[in-house]
Structures are given as C-alpha cells and as structure tokens.
Structure 1
Amino acid sequence: MSAFDLDGNVAIVTGGAGGIGGATARLLLERGAQIVIADIAEEKAQALARELDSEGSQVAALRFDLSDEASIQSMIAAAVQRFGRIDILVNNAALLSGEIQQVDRDVETMPTWAWDAVYTANCRGTMIMTREAIPHLCKTRGVIVNVVSSLAFQGHFMQLAYTTSKAALIQLTRSVAASHSRRGVRCNAVAPGMTLTPIVEAHFPLDMRKVLEDETLRDQLGRPEEIAEVICFLASDAARNITGEIVAADSGFTSHFPAMSRLAAVVGAPG
C-alpha cells in the first residue's frame, strides 16, 4: 500500500464546504478516508456531502460554529459517534466574513469588536478544536494540519486581525508538535498564498490579481486542489518524519526579495 493512501482513516475538515476545505475533503475521500465536512454553512456542507457520497456511508456533514466552544465539542462528539475514531484533523475554518473584511485594516482603525471576533474564531476556536480532538488523535497516532497563510510571514498594510491570528496559529502548530509528537500526534501547517477559490475568481479584481501573479515564481496563482495535495501529503504516512513545520504553498511568493518582478523587467531577465 502506498504511503500516500489514507484507507481506514477518519478525517475532520473544518470549513469543509469552502474552496480549499472542499477540495481537501474531496481528495481525502479519493485517497480512502472517511470524511466529516464541518462547517457553519450547513446547507453547503450537506450538498457537498451528497455530491461526494450519495449513500452517506463515507462522508458526513456536521454544522458547527468555530467561535462557540459547545458547538465544537458537540461536533467532535458527533464525528466520533458516526465513524468511531479521528485520525486526521484539518483546521481550515477561519472567520473571514464580508463584514470583517470591510473593517480589518490597520491598527489605527481596528474596531475592538472585529479584533475580538477574529481571535475568538481563528485562535481560540482552533485551539479548542485541537484540544477536543487530541485525546482521540493520541489513540490513533493521528495528524493535525493547520491551514494558515503566507501573510503570516510578512507585514501587510491591511488585514491586521486576520494576518496576526494566522501567525499565532504557526506558534500553536509548533507548540502542539512539541508537546504531543512523542505521544504519536504529528502537527504541521500549510501556508497558502492567494488561492483561486471560486470566491476569489468571482470577486477579486483582475488588476490586483495581476500584481500578485507577477510576484509569484510560477505563471499563475495556486488553486484549491493544489493546496489540498499538500494537506493530504502532510496527513499521510509519506510525511511521517515531518512535524512542527510550516509549509509555504504560495507559488514562491514569500521566497524572494520585494520588487523582484519590477527589477527583472528593468534588467530584461527571462520570464
């Protein structure tokens, strides 16, 4: 059996009805895992579950709210009741609503309520998800994959709450790896760059997308399926020697010095 196979594993994907989450759920299922699609968008989660598994034996959709401790606990309990175990936890869910995006800018203008809402969901919620899943993962020698962001590595003139919350999850990743890897639980993170999810393709202005594409080392931005490949690799035995690491999956965006694309144009560099 290939080390990439996930036969017999049970995976929870939070934010599993969205772009990266949905692609991850789909690929985990293809690799042999049973899937819990956990999302606050219950109808979208159920629709995806029906699409992936019309009989309902391999995929379950469970509603939960990342900002509500009782909701997280209920979802974990329902997942274990349904499939009997947890082998993989993909902490992908995050608060990134339109209301938050309108006000999540710089420190001078940051509303306290928005800061608190983002940290309650992204940091507190992900910690609780991890805490509640850890006893089950210790039994199965399981895996946690946190989805952070390449913006966690860099200063940005906006998205203060979102970017700093994702930076905090990098430390959560390393801390959980340090405390639990000897107990059999690996913990890593994936840091996507701008990813062409359906929402980004529909609403992100083309001129802004072009600026970001010019700063990648590929000729395009990443797609959800490509991020899912990295997540599924880290969840598999093929990555059994990797823990406490943050893998940048950002088309090389954070790997080079600023203004590289403009300098390349000036000197006539290839590409």
Structure 2
Amino acid sequence: MNRVQGKVALVTGGASGIGLSAATLLAKEGAKVVIADFNTDAAKEAAAHITSQGGEAVGLFLDASKEDSIKAAVDFTVAQYGTVTVLFNNVGLTNLQKDLDVVNIDLDEWDRLMNVNTKSVLVGSRYAIPHMIKAGGGSIINTASMSAFAGDTLRSAYGASKAAVVNLTRYIAAQYGKDKIRCNGVAPGLILTPAAKRNMPQEVLDIFMKFNALPYHGEADDIGNTVLFLASDESKFITGQTIQVEGGHYIANPSIADFSQYMAQAQAGSK
C-alpha cells in the first residue's frame, strides 16, 4: 500500500481497459488521479467508482488528436491537485480496414495514427514536464506496443507510430533526466481487455497463444501493475526503457512453435 502516496497522476485513455486498470491501481496505492478520456461519461463513472473504494479521482473529456485538449487536461490536473508528477500517455488508435500494407494504406489514416499515437505523447509530455520540474521530478509512462519491435503484413502506421513512441521515450528520458524526470514505456502484447474479449475471434487468440512463451494471455492488470511500478519510486533508477509485457511472444526463434508441433506429431506417430 501507499506505493505512490502523494503523487498526482494524469491517465489518458483511462476510462477502460489498460488505462482504467492503471488509474485504479494508482489510486489504490495513494495517488490522486485524473482520468482523461474521449468517453466523458465513462471517465466520470470510473472516477466515481475509484472514489467509492476510498481513492481520489476525477474524470474529464480528452480528445488526444487536439493539442488544446491535451493542454487543458494537464491544466485541469494542476488546478485540481496542485501539480502533475505522473503522466501515463495511454491513448492509441488502430484501424484494420484502412491501416494496410505500404502500397495500399490510406495516407490520411497514416496521418491520423501518427497524430494520435505519437504526437499526443509528445504534446502531453510537453505540457506536463514544466510542472514536474517545479515539483522536483516526475515519471512519464508511454504506451507503446509489441508491434513496435517487428514487422507485420498490416497496420504499417500503427507499428511505425508505436516504434516512434519507443524512441521518443528515450529522447524525453535523455533530455530531462537531470531534472529528475524519468520516462519509460510499456509495450503490451495481446491483452484481454473487455474490448478484446468481445471482438477477438477465438482463432486469433489461439494463434497468439501458439507463439507466446507463456501458456496464457495477458490481462489489463498485467500492464496496470507495470505502470504502477514505473510510476513509483521503486523504479527510480530506470529511465529510457520500454518494458515488453507480451508473454514472451518475441523471445524465441519464430519457428519453435511449429517445430514443437512437428516433434509432438512425430513422437505420436512412432508409438
């Protein structure tokens, strides 16, 4: 308990899934939390639930595609709680219909994803950092993705935008470390958020499971707990890093799953 006591956290995209998990855990461990989300009602409901459990939180509207909306969320946090010492840049978009391979991608969709997935991280940090400097330090955590670390047949803009987040994280860490501001990223793999459970076909879940090193999928709290750790002083000597929380999806030779299946079938056939 009290792992982030006295800290003030702004969580973008905090009304559901990973953001809601992080906001809830941060509040449970003593932080004052502002939940900023495009879904204003859900943000306020999440804050009310946290408050009913003994935490302290408020919800407000955020359009992460607009600089003035991001600035307003930072300004609101400072007006409400006096400062901001934790910023979780968590808003992200993806679009399987328009974000295709390089030849066929919708270029407007490229611009939209770069604006929301990458520029919002820059802008949120831009407006929070001066307050963190005044407060004597802070922690910025950015949501990247496992897609930042490998190529794919689709989602070219999403992968590129998240790879940019990984390197922007390093730049922020290098530029403001002497001000006692740490900046780290978290790169989720497939996480069984409520939306993923509703929309992800079982066949796709099975494919991910096949290539995970661990025999289960991730849950929102797996990311939320990582964010909590990076927000706390337990991680005070960690900066510029992106922690991949993806069940070991990329740690093995990519042929190992198929080779293991081949060996099992061969052994079964020899009996």
TM range (shorter): over 0.9
The alignment's TM-score, normalised by the length of structure 2, stands at: 0.94
Q: Which residue of 2 aligns with 1:37?
A: 35
Are 1:153 and 2:149 matched, yes or no?
yes
- Verify the 8 A CA contact 2:28 2:55 in the aligned structure 1: no
- Verify the 8 A CA contact 1:14 1:37 in the aligned structure 2: yes
Unpaired segments of 5 or more residues in structure 1? none
Equivalent residue pairs, number: 264
Q: Which residue of 2 aligns with 1:50?
A: 48
Amino acid corresponding to residue 9 of structure 2 in structure 1? A
Amino acid corresponding to residue 51 of structure 1 in structure 2? H
**Runs of 4+ in structure 1 displaced over 3 angstroms?**
54-57
Q: Distance in 2 between matches of 1:56 and 1:83?
A: 17
- Of 116, 131, 135, 1:136 maps to 131
Q: Which residue of 1 aligns with 2:24?
A: 26
Measured after TM superposition, the shift of residue 55 of structure 1 is 9.4
- Of 78, 90, 93, 1:92 maps to 90
> SS at the partner of 1:85?
coil
> SS at the partner of 1:90?
strand
Amino acid corresponding to residue 253 of structure 1 in structure 2? H
The alignment's TM-score, normalised by the length of structure 1, stands at: 0.94
RMSD of aligned Cα (Å): 1.6
Q: Which residue of 1 aligns with 2:268?
A: none
Unpaired segments of 5 or more residues in structure 2? 266-271
- Verify the 8 A CA contact 1:50 1:56 in the aligned structure 2: no
Amino acid corresponding to residue 30 of structure 1 in structure 2? K
- Verify the 8 A CA contact 1:8 1:34 in the aligned structure 2: yes
Amino acid corresponding to residue 124 of structure 1 in structure 2? K
**Larger gyration radius, structure 1 or structure 2:** 2
1:183-222 equivalent positions in 2, closer than 5 A: 183-222=179-218
Per the alignment, do residues 230 and 55 of structure 1 end up closer, same or farther by CA in structure 2, a change over 3 Å counting? closer
- Of 251, 256, 266, 2:247 maps to 251
- Verify the 8 A CA contact 1:88 1:235 in the aligned structure 2: yes
Q: Distance in 2 between matches of 1:244 and 1:55?
A: 34
- Verify the 8 A CA contact 2:93 2:116 in the aligned structure 1: yes
Amino acid corresponding to residue 217 of structure 2 in structure 1? L
Q: Distance in 2 between matches of 1:11 and 1:153?
A: 28
